[in-house]
A and B are shown apart, each in its own frame.
Chain A
Amino acid sequence: MSQIKKYIIFLILVSGLGLLLNYFLNSYIQAIFISFIINAIMALSLNFITGLADQFSLGHAGLMAIGAYTAAVLNKEFLDNNWALIPVGVLAGGMVAAFAGYLISLPSFRLKGDYLAIVTLGMAEIVRVVLLNWNHVGGPRGYNAIMKFPEFMYSYAFAVLLLFITFMTMYRLKFSWFGRNLWAINEDDIAAEVMGLNVAKTKRRAFVISSFFAGLGGGFYAHHLGYISPGSFGFIISVQILIVAVLGGLGSLSGSIVAALILTFLPEILRSVQMGSVDLRMIIYPILLILMMILRPQGLFGRTELNLKSLKERFSK
């Protein structure tokens, strides 16, 4: 009973926020809000593989690109620009990204640590170069006039739904037997193997799940902006996703969402102090990253999840 009550309260809160955004705030803030959700989805997706299983991936921009291009091309060329079918395209983007993730994981997960990071980075770079040379999807000019949601409310509802699905799936997985397997790999993969766990298979599965959600995020990104180009999925995007995940705490799913919130709105607030042509957040991000690593390597939340009960306890003390 209380479970249902919780969901109802959540639904009311979410719709309230949606109405607030729709009627009282301008489209600039609405757009930032949507990009916050995309960042959160991407960070969750990365956190799943890097935070839970400790398999460092620097290739999430590549997976995001695959999702984005799939969704965009599918919607534009096969579903004749019907905005109501955007979810179908996004889902397909996730599927294709998951398949790509499976292909990538076959060779890459024989490696670990920084080699894995470099190989996934390489894979993302290959995806980018292929898109750059693929004339049908615009090559370096990018792919434009992608269908968008006509109203902010639809966009908002879909975004929140996506984030909710992503978060809940990962949250449930984190505390399932599968999540515990990932923890075992995180702690000590040799010991996990000795205990009879098929480490390679578990890592691959985790990566496929992670890729699926990265693809979803990418697909939604394409429909949110209406324009994508290979340049928007460079190495720097992978790093940005990584920064969000690290700031929130590797292994903490709610941490990723909070960090995405901070890191999406902070640069917008700082926009007024931009220096010349250089994006100031590209100075702040790395400093933040280095300081984080030195002073608080576990991130804001560490591995723990945010929950109301423990917050209450902390504040009542």
Chain B
Amino acid sequence: MVYGILTMINFAHSEIYMMGAFAAFYLARFAGLDTPSPLNFTLGILAGALLAAIIGFFVEMLAYRPLRSSPKMNVLITAIGVSILFQFGGQIIFGADPKSFPTLIEDRVLFTLADISIRLVDMLIYFVSFVSLGILSFIIFKTQTGRAMRAVSTRPDMTPLMGINNNKIISTTFIIGSALAGVAAVLVSIKYPKIDPMMGVKIGTSSFVAAVFGGIGSLHGAVIGGFLLGLGEYYLIGYGASTYKDALSFLILIGVLLYKPTGLFGTTRKEKI
């Protein structure tokens, strides 16, 4: 999403995700909200999203805004820098050892369908993902801000002439993208309750691959891409090649970039001279 609008790879996105998980973790720990209840679940997700959004805003302001007019490569290098700073800064602040995430909602089997038990947490994850997707689609395709975002994405040099504040729009994009990362982080942490400062590394590449696979800039494509990639990884584990799991996402990525660079649902952009 951030990539589609800004045409830059945000390496630090996965670290914002990590910070979201830790925000929810500390809220739950210190505010005494670590007992399973729907309220705490909602609060946890909101806390993750809020803190991730704040961090996203500051990262954008401090690290990326000064580089708005410099070559793409410099921005990419900075993004890598921010990412590493968060990873190792996180290790100093939170400690490098994994922490166990509190159970915010009780997991139970909702119903069983032909030997497959549908669990509450899984359903909630699906539910929250679809709600987020809905909200995001609404923002991008139905609101004034969303239209401005799409405009900035196509012609950043023209938008200021139309009275759009580029910096503001890019900030907003970052905030929304980061908030989503925060939501995702809390959901994943509830499902797999172990968080540590390096947790973003794996998910970062996967989510990038999912975005490219589905087509950059296409929201639904990203969801489907993520779904297929996740499925692919689990099949690989199922067939006993689990140690090659990390290579799979890159193989897919390389294949997609070479044979269908627009992804499954992407649109092409012509290069102008």
Residues of A whose CB lies within 8 Å of any CB of B are: 50, 54, 56, 107-108, 110-111, 113-115, 117-119, 121-123, 125-126, 129-130, 132-133, 190, 235-236, 239, 242, 246, 275-279, 282-283, 285-287, 289-290, 293-294, 297
Name the residue on B nearest A108 (C-beta). Answer: B254
- Tell me the bound Cα distance from A190 to B273 in angstroms: 8
Q: Are B80 and A239 in contact (CB under 8 A)?
A: yes
Which B residues, 66 to 95, have Cβ-Cβ distances below 8 Å to chain A? 66-67, 70-78, 80-85, 87-89, 91-92
Contact A278 B247, beta carbon cutoff 8 Å: no
| B residues in contact with A239, CB < 8 Å | 80, 84
| Chain B residues whose C-beta falls within 8 Å of the C-beta of A289 in the assembled complex | 77-78, 80-81, 84
Q: Which chain A positions have C-beta within 8 A of B72?
A: 113-114
Report yes or no: B250 in contact with A287, Cβ–Cβ below 8 A.
Answer: no
| CB-CB under 8 A for A125 and B273, given A290-B81, A297-B74 | no
Q: Is B85 within 8 A of A286, CB to CB?
A: yes
Known: A122-B253, A236-B84. A278 touches B77 (CB 8 A): no
With A and B bound together, what is the CA distance between A290 and B85 in angstroms?
10
Q: What distance in Å separates the Cβ of B55 from its nearest Cβ neighbour in chain A?
A: 15
Residues of B within 8 A of A56 (CB): 73, 76
Q: Is the CB of B73 within 8 A of A54?
A: yes
A132 and B66 CA atoms in complex are apart in Å by 40
Produce 1/0 per residue, B247-258, CB < 8 A to A: 100110110011
Contact indicator A294/B66 (Cβ below 8 Å): yes
- Residue of A114, A130, A286, A297 near B9 (CB, 8 A) is A114
A111 to B261, CA, bound (A): 9
* Contact A118 B9, beta carbon cutoff 8 Å: yes
Q: What 0/1 pattern do residues 8 to 29 of B give for CB contact below 8 A with A? A: 1100000000000000000000
> In the docked arrangement, what's the CA distance between A129 and B80, Å?
22
What 12 new A-B contacts, CB under 8 Å, besides A125-B205, A282-B84, A290-B81? A56-B73, A108-B254, A111-B257, A114-B73, A119-B254, A122-B251, A126-B247, A236-B84, A278-B96, A283-B88, A293-B74, A297-B71
A283 lies within 8 A of B92 (CB) = yes
Cβ contact of B244, chosen from A115, A129, A190, A294, cutoff 8 A: A129
A113 and B91 form a contact (CB under 8 A)? no
Check: B243 CB closer than 8 A to any chain A CB: yes
B246 at interface (Cβ–Cβ under 8 A)?
A: yes
Given contacts A190-B273, A286-B82, A294-B67, whether A117 and B76 have CB atoms under 8 Å apart is yes
Chain B residue contacts of A110, Cβ below 8 A: 258
- Interface secondary structure of B, over-half rule: helix
Beta-carbon contacts of B78-117 to A below 8 Å, as 1s and 0s?
A: 1011111101110110001000000000000000000000
Interface of A is mostly: helix
CB distance from A139 to the nearest CB of B (A): 9
A117-B76, A294-B66 known; A285+B84 contact, CB < 8 A = yes
Q: Contacts A111-B257, A285-B84; is A122 near B76 (CB within 8 Å)?
A: no
| Cα–Cα distance between A113 and B84 once the two chains are bound (Å) | 21
The verdict on B158 contacting chain A, using a C-beta distance below 8 Å, is no
Q: How far is the CB of B73 from chain A (nearest CB, A)?
A: 6
23 A-B pairs (CB sep. < 8 Å): A114-B8, A114-B72, A115-B257, A117-B9, A118-B9, A118-B208, A122-B251, A129-B244, A129-B247, A133-B244, A236-B84, A239-B80, A275-B92, A279-B88, A286-B81, A286-B82, A286-B85, A287-B85, A289-B80, A289-B81, A290-B63, A290-B78, A297-B70
Contacts of A275 in B (CB 8 A): 92
Q: Which residue of A lies closest to B89 (CB)?
A: A283
* Structural contact, B77 and A129, CB atoms closer than 8 A: no
Which residue in A242, A278, A286 is a CB contact (below 8 Å) of B92? A278
CB distance from B162 to the nearest CB of A (A): 27
CB-CB under 8 A for A278 and B91, given A126-B247, A126-B251, A286-B85:
yes
| Cα A21 to Cα B78 with chains together (Å) | 37
Chain A residues with CB under 8 A of B81: 285-287, 289-290, 293
Minimum CB distance partner of B71 in chain A: A297
Q: Which residues of A contact B82 (CB under 8 A)?
A: 286, 290
Across the interface, do A293 and B70 meet the contact criterion of CB distance under 8 Å?
Answer: yes
Residues of A within 8 A of B261 (CB): 111, 115
- On whether the beta carbons of A278 and B244 are closer than 8 Å, the reply is no
Compute how far the CA of A116 lies from the CA of B254 in the bound complex, rounded to whole angstroms.
10
- A236→B91 CA distance, assembly (Å): 15
Give chain A nearest CB distance to B271 CB in angstroms: 8
